[in-house]
Every structure is written in structure tokens, then in C-alpha cells.
Amino acid sequence: MKQFISVEDVKDINVLVEKALSYKANPFADKHLGANKRIGLLFLNPSLRTRISTQIAAENLGMQVITFNVDKDGWKLEFEEEAIMSGATVEHVKDAAPILGSYFDILAVRSFPNLINKEEDYSEHVIKQFIKYAGIPVVSLETSTLHPLQSLTDVITIKEQMAFAPTAGESGRRPRIVLTWAPHIKPLPQCVANSFAQWINAWGEAEFVIAHPEDYELDVKFTKGATITHNQREALQEADFVYVKNWSTYKDYGKIYNNDPSWMLTPETLKATNHAKIMHCLPVRRNVELSDEVLDSENSLVTTEASNRVWAAQAVLSEILKELK
């Protein structure tokens, strides 16, 4: 693997998932693979799970890890080509990235969208600038439009659950996976929803439904292949997995139109499901997106999901390390 920016960088999702699950069973199986290699984890935005799980994954592979919070400790970076830097930005990415490329063997970057300029965000110009100027493999820790380490984790978690208690059942039916929009008090990126849709579609082993209120359509380049409905109750019928996430509007970019609290998942709304397992990438606004009862129920996978972030990151880093000279 040369980089990890989206599902398009993965040859075979199932093989990568098996690799991750093998690391879960034996975390130190490849503890020498990353010897004398160093990874930089660069955060332009906050993180709990991504930061810590990726650090653990790299250390399990024997890598040295340096984490740098650009947003708090670094110079404010400029990403515009030919910018006249007379404003707030202090250092251009074309100066900073080659230096990072000389310090590290792999560079991992988190950079959220600004949710103001759709064209700019959806061009993924920040991560593309790091790829262009760093000269080493780049891993996404969540970018303007996608969160592939989260989505790989989500497929790992679904496949793991199917192995424990096959939702496909005796009839061999495919699991029904529902991605449902949930209310939130702030406009959030579409990254997790885009990425989940992209990965579940690419995986192709599920009946996949997306439920959201009108005006919350996602970019069809990620959702194409899914059934899309504005009726959450209908979507939840016989669901095996329910993935809950808020996102802001895509068409009229970055807005909150309708925050209908009836879209919050509760034990009542989940009655129609097939005892569905509940997923969320976290952090979650309790009793806004999901009720306490749902989050604290035995069907909630949120902690398992977050702990599986280590194995997803380890599988990806191992694939990149194998191709490093």
C-alpha cells in the first residue's frame, strides 16, 4: 500500500479486515516490521481515539512515533499555491511538508473541513498538498470528506460481530446495515457518513440503507448503490446494524436545516430492528443523537468499535511498511 486516503487505496477489504483481526488476536506478531522507522502523527484538529489508537498501532509494529498538534503547537499553515502570506498564516505547506518528509518514514494527517467552501473541502486540497510535498506515504487520520481508518474499523467490527452471532442467520441473507442521520447542535462534517457509505458499498456484502431527513442528501459519488429514504422507521425494519451519525447539509453546504429530535434513536425506535447492534464513531452527544438507554445497552458496540481502531490502524501501517524500502 502506497498511501491510505480512501477505500480506493485498498486492494481487498476482506484481506485487510482479516489482517486487522489477526493483530487483535496477536498484537505483537510483527513487532520488528517497523524497527528503525518513524511515523509522524500531525493533528490540525482535536482527537481522542484516532490519536491514541494510531500511536498504539505504530508502537505494536515497533515504530517510533512523534505526535504533533499543529493546531496548538505549530505555526499556522498556508495551503494556497502562490499565496501572498501577509495574513494569519506563518508557514507554507510546501516548506513544512518536505521537512516532515525528511524526519519521518510515514506521515499521518488529520485535517477537518472548514464547512464554508464546499469546492475547497471536496477538492481535499489539504491532504493533497501534504501528499504532493512530503514525498513519503501519507495516511489520513480524517480529512475534509472521508475518515477511512474509522470506516475500516466499522467493517472490522461488523464482520467480527457476524462471526460471533451470524446475523445472516440460517437463511444466509446478507446483513441489513442502516446508516441513520441523528440530530446535533452543531453543523458537523459529512466525512464519517461519506466514508462509511463508500466502504460498505465497496465491501458489497450487505443490504445497505441510508436514512436522513430531506435536505441532508450526501454526495452521490459515495452513496451510489445504497437505498436512500427519508423514513427512519421504515429503514430500521429488520436492521441488523444501525450506524448513527449526524452530518450537516451537503447541497447548501454546512448548514443545519431541521434538527427533528424524533430522529434520536431510543429503545422505542429500535423495536422494529432485528435486535440491531448500534454503532457510532464517537464522540457522541448523549440524549441528542442517541439516548442513554441505547448507548448503555448490551447491543451498543461503541466501545468495541473504538477499541478496534488500533487493529485497523495496525493493519494499514503494516501494509505500508511492507512497501517501504
225 vs 283, beta carbon nearer ligand CP: 283
> Smallest distance from the beta carbon of 281 to ligand CP, in angstroms?
4
Provide the minimum distance between the beta carbon of 310 and ligand CP in the complex, in angstroms, as a whole number.
12
Question: Could you say which residues in the range 42-101 bind ligand CP, by CB under 6 A?
Answer: 47-50
Return the number of the residue (30 or 281) whose C-beta is nearest ligand CP: 281
Count of residues of this chain found to bind ligand CP when the rule CB under 6 A is applied: 8
C-beta of 47 vs 259, nearer to ligand CP:
47
Which CB atom, from 59 or from 142, has the smaller least distance to ligand CP?
142
Alpha carbon distance 125, 130 (integer Å): 9
CB of 49 to ligand CP, least distance (A): 4
Nearest-approach distance from CB 305 to ligand CP, in angstroms? 9
Complex with ligand CP: residue 72 or 325, whichever CB lies closer: 72
Contacts of 87 by beta carbon, 8 Å cutoff, 6+ apart: none
Least Å from the CB of residue 236 to ligand CP: 23
CB of 100 closer than 8 Å to CB of 134: yes
Minimal CB distance to ligand CP: which residue? 50
Least Å distance, CB 280 to ligand CP, is: 9
Residue placing its CB nearer to ligand CP in the complex, 144 or 269: 144
Grid coordinates belonging to 10: 485498498
User: Least distance to ligand CP from the beta carbon of 47, Å?
Assistant: 3
x/- map, 123-142, ligand CP, by CB under 6 A: -------------------x
Stretch that binds ligand CP, among 20-28, 41-49, 125-133, 261-269 (CB under 6 A): 41-49
Nearest CA among 38, 16, 49, 41 for reference residue 302: 49
Per-residue binder mask for ligand CP (CB under 6 A), 281-310, x = binder = xx----------------------------
Nearer to ligand CP, 30 or 305 (CB): 305
**Pattern 148-167, binding to ligand CP, x per CB under 6 A?**
--x-----------------
Site string for ligand CP, 215-244 (x = CB under 6 A): ------------------------------
Q: Does 35 participate in binding ligand CP (rule CB under 6 A)?
A: no
- The CA distances from residue 249 to 120, 132, 191, 210, 257, in Å, are 16, 30, 12, 15, 7
For binding to ligand CP (CB under 6 A), which residues are involved? 47-50, 142, 150, 281-282
